[in-house]
Amino acid sequence: MNYLITIIGPTAIGKTALSIALAQHFGCDIISCDSRQFFKEMKIGTAVPSDEELASATHHFIQNKSIFESYSVGDFEQEALAKLDELFQKKNIQIMVGGSGLYVDAILKGFDDFPDIDDSVRIEINAKYDELGIEFLQEQLQKIDSEYYQKLQTENPQTLQNPQRMKRFVEVCIGSGKPYSSFIGKRKNLRNFTPIIIGLEADREIMYDRINQRVDIMLNEGLLAEAQALCPNKHLNALQTVGYRELFDYFDGKTTLDFAIEQIKMNTRRFAKRQITWFKRTENVSWFDYLTDRKEIINSVNNTINNKETQIE
């Protein structure tokens, strides 16, 4: 049986260090599912593992794309599953780590099966969005699929502000003539592995303090220069990211540098809260305090594997 040890938790909690410890113990590779660490131009602001960390275990899907490439969660699902098939030929235990809940779910559960949508629908929706903004998409979804709109408003309100996701919801509704929600949960995606999910957590004040410290470290490492070099491309989807957006406003003269830094810290803390909300809905997670001895976590993983192997026998 194949096992995918999956490490989840909010930003700055210590997932990278744990993933490396587990990879070294089990002699396996690491699949990264951090949706911003894919991009080679965004190193400091996405907290890409250091050169020493990258050298201490084999990593995949880190800085393997460019911000100028179109890369979706569906693309990642296909590529990561193909890579896992390859890795499982060598070792039946592999590691996945990341704080992007949607990307974690893509690998563990897969997506529902949606119909092909005519390009003319997509073009029209893009034109309307360019003219009327995100409010147009929100109004359309609320009108066509009020059930899904309410679900997002309650469980994942930031998605209502995400143009790419909202365009997709609306184009499926209009192109198929059916609510987006009617396609959810209809398809069973089979996986050739059993997930073992490890969650890291900390008291909120500790987590916030770690986030603030990480932002200060990023600035010391050159985040300002990295963001300034990327500013001419700030319209790209990959750069609609905490840590960059706030500095773009500073470069545009809209804020002071001190204010931009405080905004980065505040928005990163908000992002961490959303991560926790998402991951706490995940089933079958073994949660550990971020300071838990790694040997204890390794023992827990081994016990889980042994129990599953015994059940098979």
For 193-205, the pLDDT digits (tens) are: 999 999 999 999 9
Residue 179: φ, ψ to 5°: -65, 145
What is the arithmetic mean of pLDDT over 207-211? 97
Domain boundary among the residues 142, 158, 183 is at 183
What residue numbers bound the domain in which 157 lies?
119-183
Residue 74: φ, ψ to 5°: -65, -40
**Span 178-188, pLDDT tens digits:** 999 888 876 66
Whether residues 137 and 104 share a domain: the answer is no
Whether residues 84 and 132 share a domain: the answer is no
What is the arithmetic mean of pLDDT over 82-105? 96
Kindly indicate the confidence band of residue 294, based on its pLDDT and cuts at 50, 70 and 90: very high
pLDDT of residue 229: 98
Q: What percent of the chain has pLDDT over 70?
A: 98
Whether residues 285 and 197 share a domain: the answer is yes
Instruction: State yes or no: pLDDT of 223 exceeds 70.
Output: yes
Q: Which of 190, 159, 178 is nearest to 115 (CA)?
A: 178
Chain-centre distance of CA 126, in angstroms? 25
Instruction: State yes or no: pLDDT of 98 exceeds 80.
Output: yes
Whether residues 81 and 205 share a domain: the answer is yes
What is the arithmetic mean of pLDDT over 155-172? 90
Whether residues 94 and 167 share a domain: the answer is no
Q: How many residues in the chain?
A: 313
Whether residues 134 and 102 share a domain: the answer is no
Whether residues 76 and 179 share a domain: the answer is no
Residue ranges of the annotated binding site are 9-16
| Cα–Cα distance for residue pair 219/260, rounded to 1 Å | 12
Q: Are 143 and 94 in contact (CB under 8 A)?
A: no
Chain-centre distance of CA 259, in angstroms? 26
Instruction: State yes or no: pLDDT of 111 exceeds 80.
Output: no
Instruction: State yes or no: pLDDT of 86 exceeds 80.
Output: yes
| Cα–Cα distance for residue pair 30/216, rounded to 1 Å | 27
The model's pTM is 0.81
Domain CATH number, residue 57: 3.40.50.300
Domain boundary among the residues 183, 216, 231 is at 183
Whether residues 153 and 217 share a domain: the answer is no
| Cα–Cα distance for residue pair 95/84, rounded to 1 Å | 10
Instruction: State yes or no: pLDDT of 247 exceeds 90.
Output: yes
Whether residues 196 and 90 share a domain: the answer is yes
What is the arithmetic mean of pLDDT over 167-175? 93
Kindly indicate the confidence band of residue 311, based on its pLDDT and cuts at 50, 70 and 90: confident
Residue ranges of the annotated binding site for substrate are 11-16
Residue ranges of the annotated binding site for ATP are 9-16
Instruction: State yes or no: pLDDT of 119 exceeds 80.
Output: yes
- Residues 6 or more apart in contact with residue 41 via CB below 8 angstroms: 66, 67, 230
Kindly indicate the confidence band of residue 113, based on its pLDDT and cuts at 50, 70 and 90: confident
Beta pairing partners, 60:
31
Domain boundary among the residues 183, 210, 225 is at 183
| Cα–Cα distance for residue pair 37/97, rounded to 1 Å | 12
Beta pairing partners, 95:
5, 30
The domain total for the chain is 2
Whether residues 198 and 307 share a domain: the answer is yes
What is the arithmetic mean of pLDDT over 230-250? 95
Q: What average pLDDT does the structure give for the chain?
A: 93
- Bin 199: left if φ > 0, else alpha if -120 < ψ < 50, else beta: beta
SS3 292: coil
Whether residues 243 and 101 share a domain: the answer is yes
What is the arithmetic mean of pLDDT over 218-237? 96
- Residues 6 or more apart in contact with residue 306 via CB below 8 angstroms: none
Q: Are 35 and 63 in contact (CB under 8 A)?
A: no
Domain CATH number, residue 151: 1.10.20
What is the arithmetic mean of pLDDT over 157-169? 90
Whether residues 245 and 264 share a domain: the answer is yes
- Bin 49: left if φ > 0, else alpha if -120 < ψ < 50, else beta: beta
- Residues 6 or more apart in contact with residue 236 via CB below 8 angstroms: 67, 68
**Span 259-279, pLDDT tens digits:** 999 999 999 999 999 999 999
| Cα–Cα distance for residue pair 10/193, rounded to 1 Å | 24
